[in-house]
Structure 1
Amino acid sequence: MAISKFQAIVQQKCPRCHQGNMFVHPSYNLIAYQKMHSNCPVCGLRFEIEPGFFWGGMYLSYALNVAQSVTLGIATYFLLGDPSPWVYLSIIIGAIFLFMPINFRYGRVLMLHWFSPIKFDTSYSK
């Protein structure tokens, strides 16, 4: 049974078959979180469509980082009553490092699912 596009994005699955994992290791593996399969293990799709394709993923990762930082800044203001700038910096920079593997991965996943010509094909799903 095929999963939805949203589920495929959340579970970091191939955009064509929605079944193959895009990354070799789970995201909590902080040593090799960035190691990605070159081809989908299920349908054989080459993930890097052209050289430098994932440079766009870097910009998406940056956008995720900015959204996260703004959200944390606003939450810090309301929850802690406008603390010193060092508290803001500590919380935001700590969160940037904490969420770095997730932002890196979702930058690439969103790049493949949203900005590539690859579409879901039921003939590749098992």
Structure 2
Amino acid sequence: MASRSSSLLACAAGRCPRCHQGPVFKTSALNLAHFQDMHDYCPVCGQHYEPEPGFFWGAMYVSYAFSVAIVVAVGLAVYVLGHDPDTWVYIVSAALAIVLFMPLTFRYSRLVMLYLFGGIDYNPAAPVRQARR
């Protein structure tokens, strides 16, 4: 397994930005009923995941960027593979892709927001604490 000392790998794995070990989310992205449930604190180092109230409202902008990228990629794929089909094919394909990727878009928009704007630096010597309940 790859080293978790890389912030990019830790972000992709959904790990804490401080210790790169504790999970940010409680369940798998495939658990559609609870894919959005986050831990309040890192179970390993105790880092609080919400630096300030309403912090994750900014993740909407990141989510929008991800959605635009998905729509452009799906549009290009439909154009190339479908030899420029009718407009309804583009709309249905883009809508399906957005709905299918929504759990990942939600999670990674929050992770990118936390890693880039959370003000939390990687600390390999972060103390190991008991999980707060």
**Above 0.5 in TM-score?**
yes
Aligned residues: 126
**Structure 2 residues not aligned, in runs of 5+:** 129-133
CA contact (8 A) 2:78 2:84 kept: yes
Runs of 4+ that moved beyond 3 A:
none
Counterpart Cα distance in 2 of 1:24 and 1:58: 21
Residue in 2 that maps onto 1:74 = 76
Please report the TM-score for the alignment, with normalisation by the length of structure 2: 0.90
Please report the TM-score for the alignment, with normalisation by the length of structure 1: 0.95
CA contact (8 A) 2:4 2:10 kept: no
Counterpart Cα distance in 2 of 1:47 and 1:106: 14
Counterpart Cα distance in 2 of 1:19 and 1:57: 22
Residue in 2 that maps onto 1:104 = 106
Match for 2:90 among 88, 91, 111?
88
Q: 1:3 Cα shift?
A: 3.2
Residue in 2 that maps onto 1:113 = 115
CA contact (8 A) 1:54 1:111 kept: yes
Counterpart Cα distance in 1 of 2:24 and 2:61: 19
CA RMSD of superposed structures (Å): 1.3
Residue in 1 that maps onto 2:49 = 47
Residue in 1 that maps onto 2:59 = 57
Q: 1:103 Cα shift?
A: 0.1
Counterpart Cα distance in 2 of 1:31 and 1:62: 22
1:81-116 C-alpha deviation (Å, 9 max, x unpaired): 100011001100001100000000000000011112
